[in-house]
A and B are shown apart, each in its own frame.
Chain A
Amino acid sequence: MAKKSKKGAPTDVRIKLIRYSLHHPKTPRPLRFGTMRMLRHWTIHRAWKLYQAAQRKEREYELERQYNKMRDACEELRLTSPGLYERAVAKSIFRYPIVEFRIPTDTPAKNGWNHEWKRG
């Protein structure tokens, strides 16, 4: 429990800070809607969620279809020419340990640190 001053306002620094930031003029006021405005907001939000769910489902179906097609093509290749199939499916034995395991990111740069750099 935070200490309470005579006026009843808490003297805890954290609470003071929270109140300061909440009531600062630059902080946007909380959204206060009327009943019908709130209902409209809720409806639109629900519809947006439905739309997103539909989109997600569609994307998943698309991926599944693509995967099935690839699998069928591989199967076809295996039946027609086994040698080509093996070459198509085979993975290279040698793998670059860190380069291939790492998730590609923008940073750090490929070249790493520039040791030649001097302040001009």
Chain B
Amino acid sequence: MSVCTLSASSSIRALGAIRFNVIRPIALQGLRTRAIPNKSSTEGVEGAGSAEGAKKNRLKMRTIETMPFQTFQLALDIINKDRQEKLERITQERETMKKLIKHKGLTHADRRIVSMKQQIEKWQLYADANNPRVKYNFDCGIIGMNKPIYLHLLNKKWRQRNRPILMQRLETMHVIPDVLPAINPIADVQVHFKGRKVQSGLLLDSLMVEEFPTVRVIPFKNEEMLCTIAVVDPDVPDSKKHGFRYRCHWVVSNIPISPMQTTAVGRSAKPADTIVPYLPPHSQKGAPYHRYTMIVFEQPERIDTTALEGSINRDDFTMRGFQSKNKLHPIGAFMWRVEWDSHTKEIMQKHNLPGWDIMYKRIKDVVPS
């Protein structure tokens, strides 16, 4: 079968030139379910030589769509038909939407129009959901982040495993009432310390967390937004009040985030404003482990950093206050823990942090009642 589909190829053939075979790449070809239909009619008319035909057969590529299995091909036909139906429905819906806007004077903020748009998005997802090429690409990790179907699949995968784990860690370690009253993560936050990916809630070495991490935020909505990342430690021992207080470790604002720009902090990140520079996590001797909580907020608009820089005091910081003052909305969270270990003293001395020679003891242990 000839793979040539160009009209120019026939004239080349007439002149007696060598026939070119276009080899299709196997990699991502948009969201087509079927390969380009081969024009076998030219073959019949021209009547190519057998030697040439054998050569062509050798060069033929087999793609996902051209696997020679009857049931599979029939299944592909059904899926294709369904896809066409959905695309037709989408075009019809778009037309009615246009008519409504034109003749009935509805705006894009109108409830009916918004629901129609949502419906269209849903159908677009359904049209591609059964595509074996999409499934193959997703499983192989060839993901076009601007395509809604891949975002949808990523979201589904994250919600199946990683999000429940994160929520469990946040709840069992009481981060949720201690730092913020409630968090409903809708974006995946991935943190790399010294180039190594870290699971949420782990007890990390203080040498590993000495420098600020690379943060990836994957929002599953296909739109651009500005983010703020804040790290707070709710477990700083306070001997005066016989309890614990908060300490702010890091605040970065105005980070542009979109599915195509997932790196929030790191080498390939866009410039952002560091409001509070990173303070290496350190927990003093004898104190229980510290829970370092990173919250990713969505900003309603650009934050004026000059006004904010002076107003934040590291030792007098609460996440709730910060959130309410700047009208932020939490979209993602991450946490890790740090204990006093063999490197903490060295790090505290290196960064001029006081208290490396202090050891805490519980009152109960010192003065038995």
Contacts and interface: CB of A to CB of B under 8 A. Distances in A.
Interface of A: 35-36, 39-40, 42-44, 46-48, 50-51, 54
Nearest to B82: A50
Given A46-B79, A50-B78, A40 B69 contact: yes
Contacts of B74: 47
Interface in B73-108: 74-76, 78-79, 82
Contacts of B135: 39, 42-43
Contacts of A47: 74-76, 78-79, 130
Given A39-B64, A40-B67, A50 B72 contact: no
Nearest to A36: B67
Given A39-B136, A48-B75, 9 more contacts: A40-B71, A40-B72, A43-B75, A43-B135, A44-B71, A44-B72, A46-B130, A50-B82, A50-B130
A43 B71 CA distance: 10
A43 B82 contact: no
Nearest to B74: A47
B132 interface: yes
Contacts of A48: 75
Interface size on B, as a range, is 10 to 19
Contact residues of B: prevailing secondary structure: helix
7 contacts: A40-B69, A42-B132, A43-B79, A43-B132, A47-B79, A50-B82, A54-B82
Given A39-B136, A44-B72, A50 B79 contact: yes
Nearest to B79: A47
Contacts of A50: 78-79, 82, 130
A57 B69 CA distance: 29
B340 to A, nearest CB: 33
A35 B72 CA distance: 14
A35 B139 CA distance: 10
B24 to A, nearest CB: 17
A20 to B, nearest CB: 32
Contacts of A54: 82
Contacts of B72: 40, 43-44
B42 to A, nearest CB: 30
A51 B76 CA distance: 12
Nearest to A43: B132
A36 B69 CA distance: 12
Contacts of B130: 43, 46-47, 50
**Most chain B C-beta atoms within 10 Å of own C-beta, residue among A35, A42, A48:** A42
Contacts of A51: 78
A47 B136 CA distance: 16
Contacts of B71: 40, 44
A37 to B, nearest CB: 10
Contacts of A36: 64, 67
B75 A44 contact: yes
Contacts of A46: 75, 79, 130
Interface string B123-159: 0000000101001100100000000000000000000
A46 B64 CA distance: 15
Nearest to B133: A39
Contacts of A35: 136, 139
A39 B82 contact: no
Contacts of B82: 50, 54
- Pick the most buried of A35, A42, A43, A46: most chain B CB atoms within 10 A of its CB: A43
Contacts of A39: 64, 132, 135-136
- 4 closest A-B pairs by beta carbon, nearest first, are A47-B75, A47-B78, A44-B75, A43-B132
